[in-house]
Amino acid sequence: SKDHLTTIDNHLYIEDVDCCRLAAEEGTPLYVTSERRLRENIRRYHRAFPDAEKYFAVKANGNLAILQVAAQEGMGADIFSAGELSLVRLAGIPRDMILFNGNSKSEKDHIAALQAGVRISVDSNEELEHLARTARNLDSEAEILFRVNPNVSPKTHPKIATGLRSSKFGIPAEQVAGTYKRAMELEGIKPVGLHCHIGSQILDTAPFAEAAGRMMDITRAVVAEGGNVERIDLGGGLGIQYQPDSTAPLPSDLAKAVLPVIQDSCRDMGIFPQLILEPGRSIVADSTIMLTGVNVVKRAHVNFVAVDAGFNVLARPMLYDSYHHVLAANRAEEQGEETYTIVGPICETGDVLARDRRLPRLVRGDTLAFLDAGAYGFSMASQYNGQPRPAEVLVSEDRWELIRHREDESALLAGQTIPSRLMW
Ligand code: LLP
């Protein structure tokens, strides 16, 4: 259902823009986002969860134009740093719909959150005490949720499973009610709810239902202690379909799995908390492709095609062995004739973006499109090996606009100084 991607005269189009033209005019590597697809993805969540607040997980994509679209479409924000807080405030996301998350916040982070007046997700008993002190010093009161470790296995890549007992995130489930009680007594703190996030790229709704059940158990324990639970945040994590012949649950499937669990238990308890979700990947991933130019085709042990984007531009394949589907943007109607391993320009053997892909016979100058690159794509890009970071464009119908300039080499020098004693 990637109807924002089509083929016309052997060229790949995103909405009504020819990807070959984009590559020629803006250069490669290039991140290209379909505004229509982005808006559709958000609206799908609104339809599935009409009563929930949806907080976009900014770590997935921190581009201001994309955050602006999310704000226009009524999303809040899940932020993990003071930097992300500045971005979402600039994009106009209302403070009442921002949750400052994180397992390792500094005093500066707490001050930034308190001064902006956003809610804070508290990840440990120790953080609670630090935050209370800081809030009192500022004569302010922190509205907090507790990040709970629900001990649920999400069946995903181990590096992105976050809700297991062994993960660094959250307060162990059995401690939460006691911590909540302590928070109610603390001056400077107002506990208003519970938060969890079990992992990312989760392709089965059962773990979400299980986590919702655990959250309800914990809520019951908190309510029994006299706690007010006004907000329940189930985090993000809904997976997407990276492999063309795979399937992924939709927001409506997620709703079917979790809403009955929450509604039934809350009715039993006589409470009606605000539900919150924190989707990242399922909002942006498939809205965006990454275009990269072919530099070299080498026939060796295998056929290597070396492109101008490596793990500096798209880190996911190297970090998580993740699959991104690849199309030849200027040979979009040609049959796969050869099997290629696609590698980048970085000086490491692990700089492999894709293995064993059937593609048309490629030559220098061709353009490849990596699909589903909108989540954790640019946001994890680096300047490793002296590579300035790529540009980003936003496409709407037959127009496109640059939403981030390509860095030039001066970006590599930014912030650096040479001590004067070395300058002789
Ligand atoms: N909320 C919290 C507290 C999170 O830690 C995350 C993601 C999300 C929401 C959004 O999850 P999503 O809906 O995007 O799955 N770099 C990895 C993914 C790391 C996810 C980190 N936390 C990747 O490229 O697969």
**Distant-in-sequence, close-in-space partners of 381: CB < 8 Å, separation ≥ 6:** 312, 313, 314, 315, 389, 390
**CA–CA gap between residue 59 and residue 381 (Å, rounded):** 12
Per-residue pLDDT of 366-402, as tens digits, reads: 999 999 999 999 999 999 999 999 999 999 999 999 9
Confidence of residue 167 (pLDDT cuts 50, 70, 90): confident
Supply 374's token pair. Answer: 């909108």
ipTM value of the model?
Answer: 0.99
pLDDT computed for residue 164 by the predictor: 77
What is the arithmetic mean of pLDDT over 81-104? 97
Is 347 catalytic? The answer is yes
Evaluate: CB of 357 within 6 angstroms of ligand 1. Answer: no
Evaluate: CB of 389 within 6 angstroms of ligand 1. Answer: no
What is the arithmetic mean of pLDDT over 173-195? 97
Going by C-alpha positions, the residue among 373, 313, 374, 307 that lies closest to residue 340 is 307
**Distant-in-sequence, close-in-space partners of 422: CB < 8 Å, separation ≥ 6:** none
Tell which one of 45, 53, 55, 59 to mutate to probe ligand 1, the residue whose CB is within 8 A of the most ligand atoms.
Answer: 59
Confidence of residue 159 (pLDDT cuts 50, 70, 90): confident
Confidence of residue 1 (pLDDT cuts 50, 70, 90): low
